[in-house]
Amino acid sequence: MESYRIEGGAPLSGAVRVDGAKNAALPACIASLLTDERVVLHRVPQLRDVSTILYTLGALGGRVVRHADHVSISACGSLSEEADAYSVRQMRASFLVLGPLVARLGQAVVPLPGGCAIGRRPIDLHLDGLKALGARVAEKEGAVVVTAERLRGARIELSYPSVGATEQILMAASLAKGETVIENGAVEPEVEDLARLLRKMGAEIEVVDRTYRVAGASRLRGAEHELIPDRMEAGTLLLAGAVTGGSVTVAGCRSDHLAPLLGLLESSGAGLTIDGEMVTVRGPVRPLPVDVVTAPHPGFPTDLHPPLAAYLSLAAGASSLVEAVFEGRFAYTDALCAMGARITRTGAALTIGGVESLNGRAVAATDIRGGAAMVLAGLAADGYTTVTQLEHIERGYARLEEKLVSLGARIERDDE
Name which of 128 and 226 has its Cβ closer to ligand EPZ: 128
Let me know: does 199 contact 212? Beta carbons within 8 Å.
Answer: no
Q: Total number of residues binding ligand EPZ (CB under 6 A)?
A: 28
- For residues 24 and 241, what is the distance between their CA atoms, to the nearest angstrom? 25
Q: Which of residues 305-364 bind ligand EPZ (CB under 6 A)?
A: 325-326
**CB of 296 vs ligand EPZ, minimal distance in Å:** 7
Helix (H/G/I), strand (E/B), else coil: 207: strand
Name which of 129 and 153 has its Cβ closer to ligand EPZ: 129
- The residues near 31 (Cβ < 8 Å, ≥ 6 apart) are 39, 100, 171, 194, 197, 198, 201
**CB of 96 vs ligand EPZ, minimal distance in Å:** 8
- The residues near 51 (Cβ < 8 Å, ≥ 6 apart) are none
**CB of 239 vs ligand EPZ, minimal distance in Å:** 15
121 binding ligand EPZ? (CB under 6 A): yes
**CB of 193 vs ligand EPZ, minimal distance in Å:** 11
**CB of 23 vs ligand EPZ, minimal distance in Å:** 3
**CB of 22 vs ligand EPZ, minimal distance in Å:** 6
Q: How far is CA 121 from CA 99, 117, 127, 163, 304, in A?
A: 18, 10, 13, 12, 18
- Among candidate residues 210, 138, 221, 208, the one with its CA nearest the CA of residue 174: 221
29 binding ligand EPZ? (CB under 6 A): no
How buried is 180 (Cβ within 10 angstroms: 0-12 exposed, 13-18 middle, 19+ buried)? buried
Name which of 17 and 92 has its Cβ closer to ligand EPZ: 92
Helices (H) and strands (E) in the chain, counts: 14, 23
**CB of 199 vs ligand EPZ, minimal distance in Å:** 20
Burial per residue of 186-220, b for 16 or more beta-carbon CB atoms within 10 angstroms, e otherwise: bbbbbbbbbbbbbebbbbebebeeeebebebbeeb
Q: Which of 29, 76, 116, 253 is catalytic?
A: 116
CA dihedral 138, 139, 141, 145 (to 10 degrees): 50
Contact region with ligand EPZ (CB under 6 A), list: 156-164, 216-224, 242-250, 267-275: 156-164
- Among candidate residues 7, 71, 340, 85, the one with its CA nearest the CA of residue 223: 71
Let me know: does 186 contact 27? Beta carbons within 8 Å.
Answer: no
Name which of 315 and 372 has its Cβ closer to ligand EPZ: 372
375 binding ligand EPZ? (CB under 6 A): no
Contact region with ligand EPZ (CB under 6 A), list: 81-89, 103-111, 300-308, 404-412: 300-308
Site string for ligand EPZ, 393-412 (x = CB under 6 A): ---x----------------
Contact region with ligand EPZ (CB under 6 A), list: 162-170, 204-212, 221-229, 247-255: 162-170
93 binding ligand EPZ? (CB under 6 A): yes
- Among candidate residues 268, 244, 224, 254, the one with its CA nearest the CA of residue 357: 244
Is there a cis peptide before residue 298, judged by omega within 30 degrees of 0?
A: yes
Name which of 282 and 369 has its Cβ closer to ligand EPZ: 369
Name which of 23 and 366 has its Cβ closer to ligand EPZ: 23
Q: How far apart are the first and last CA of the chain?
A: 6
**CB of 27 vs ligand EPZ, minimal distance in Å:** 7
Radius of gyration of the chain (CA): 21
**Residue 116 annotated to the active site:** yes
Name which of 265 and 393 has its Cβ closer to ligand EPZ: 393
- Among candidate residues 412, 408, 369, the one with its CA nearest the CA of residue 392: 369
Let me know: does 379 contact 411? Beta carbons within 8 Å.
Answer: yes
Among 16, 18, 20, 23, binds ligand EPZ (CB under 6 A): 23
Site string for ligand EPZ, 172-201 (x = CB under 6 A): --------------x-x-x-----------
Where does this chain bind ligand EPZ (CB under 6 A)? 22-23, 26, 92-93, 119, 121-126, 160, 162-165, 186, 188, 190, 301-303, 325-326, 368-369, 396
- Provide the annotated active-site residues: 116
